[in-house]
C-alpha cells in the first residue's frame, strides 16, 4: 500500500549557499523566498533570530508584504536553535522526531494545496557545524534528503565558509548531499587547491 507521503511528484531541489559574508547570504535567501511568495508558494525560514530579522527587512525592500504573508501562513519563521531542541537526541538528529516536527511543519504549509511546492530556507546545519557537531549536520542533511522523497519542497541551506577552513573533504561531503551548490569563486578556488594539495 502506498501511504500519503510515500511519493513526491516534484523533483528534489536541495541547494546549498556557502557564504563569506552575511549580506550576500541574506540577499540570496531573500531572492529565493520572494520568488516563491510572488508565485503564491508557501515559504518557511528556519534560521537564527538575527538572520530572520535581516531576511524580513530584505523581503520588505523587495516590496513583499511580510506581515500579510505571515498572517496568511505563507511565510513562517522558526528559530533554528529552538527547532533543533525538538528533534536532537544525544547530539544526533532523531529521524522520527525530525519527521514529526519538520515534516509536520511542511505538511501544515501544504494544507489545501497539495500540488504546491514549499520553499524553505534552513540553517540548522550551520548552527550544528558552528557548535562543533559536523557529523550531526551531515546526518541532518541526509534526513532532509529523505524527507524530500515524500514532500514537495525546495530547500536552500546556508553554511559559513569559515566552517570548512582546512576541511576540504568535509566541504565535498556537504556538496555531495545537495543538488545545487552556490558559493563565491575565490572560496571554491581555495578549497580546490587544498584538495589537490592533499591528494598530491
CB within 8 Å of 9: residues ≥ 6 apart: 115, 152
Enter the C-alpha cell of residue 73: 501562513
3-state secondary structure of 62: coil
pLDDT at 132: 94
**Residues 128-177 pLDDT 10s:** 999 999 999 999 999 999 999 988 899 999 999 888 887 888 999 999 99
What is the reported pTM?
0.85
Give the distance, in angstroms, between the CA of residue 131 and the centroid of all CA atoms in the same chain.
17
C-beta separation of 166 from 197 below 8 A: no
pLDDT at 168: 86
Measured at the CA of 133, the angle between CA 43 and CA 195, to 5 degrees, comes to 95
Q: Give the span between the Cα atoms of 42 and 197, in whole angstroms.
A: 44
| Residues in the chain where the model's pLDDT stays below 70 | 1-11, 184-200
Q: Give the span between the Cα atoms of 94 and 136, in whole angstroms.
A: 10
**Residues 154-164 pLDDT 10s:** 999 999 988 88
Amino acid at each position: 500500500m502506498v501511504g500519503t507521503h510515500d511519493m513526491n511528484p516534484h523533483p528534489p531541489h536541495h541547494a546549498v549557499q556557502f557564504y563569506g559574508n552575511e549580506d550576500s547570504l541574506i540577499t540570496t535567501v531573500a531572492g529565493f523566498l520572494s520568488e516563491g511568495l510572488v508565485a503564491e508558494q508557501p515559504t518557511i525560514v528556519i534560521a537564527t533570530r538575527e538572520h530572520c530579522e535581516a531576511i524580513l527587512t530584505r523581503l520588505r525592500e523587495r516590496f513583499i508584504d511580510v506581515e500579510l504573508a505571515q498572517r496568511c501562513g505563507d511565510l513562517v519563521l522558526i528559530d533554528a536553535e529552538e527547532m533543533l531542541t525538538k528533534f536532537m537526541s544525544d547530539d544526533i538528529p532523531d529521524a522520527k522526531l525530525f519527521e514529526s516536527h519538520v515534516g509536520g511543519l511542511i505538511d501544515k504549509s501544504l494544507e489545501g494545496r497539495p500540488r504546491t511546492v514549499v520553499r524553505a530556507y534552513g540553517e540548522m546545519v550551520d548552527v550544528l557545524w558552528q557548535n562543533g557537531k559536523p557529523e550531526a549536520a551531515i546526518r541532518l542533511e541526509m534526513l532532509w534528503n529523505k524527507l524530500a522523497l515524500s514532500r514537495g519542497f525546495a530547500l536552500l541551506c546556508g553554511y559559513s565558509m569559515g566552517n570548512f577552513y582546512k576541511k576540504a573533504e568535509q566541504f565535498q561531503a556537504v556538496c555531495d548531499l545537495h543538488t545545487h551548490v552556490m558559493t563565491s569563486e575565490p572560496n571554491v578556488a581555495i578549497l580546490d587547491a587544498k584538495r589537490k594539495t592533499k591528494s598530491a
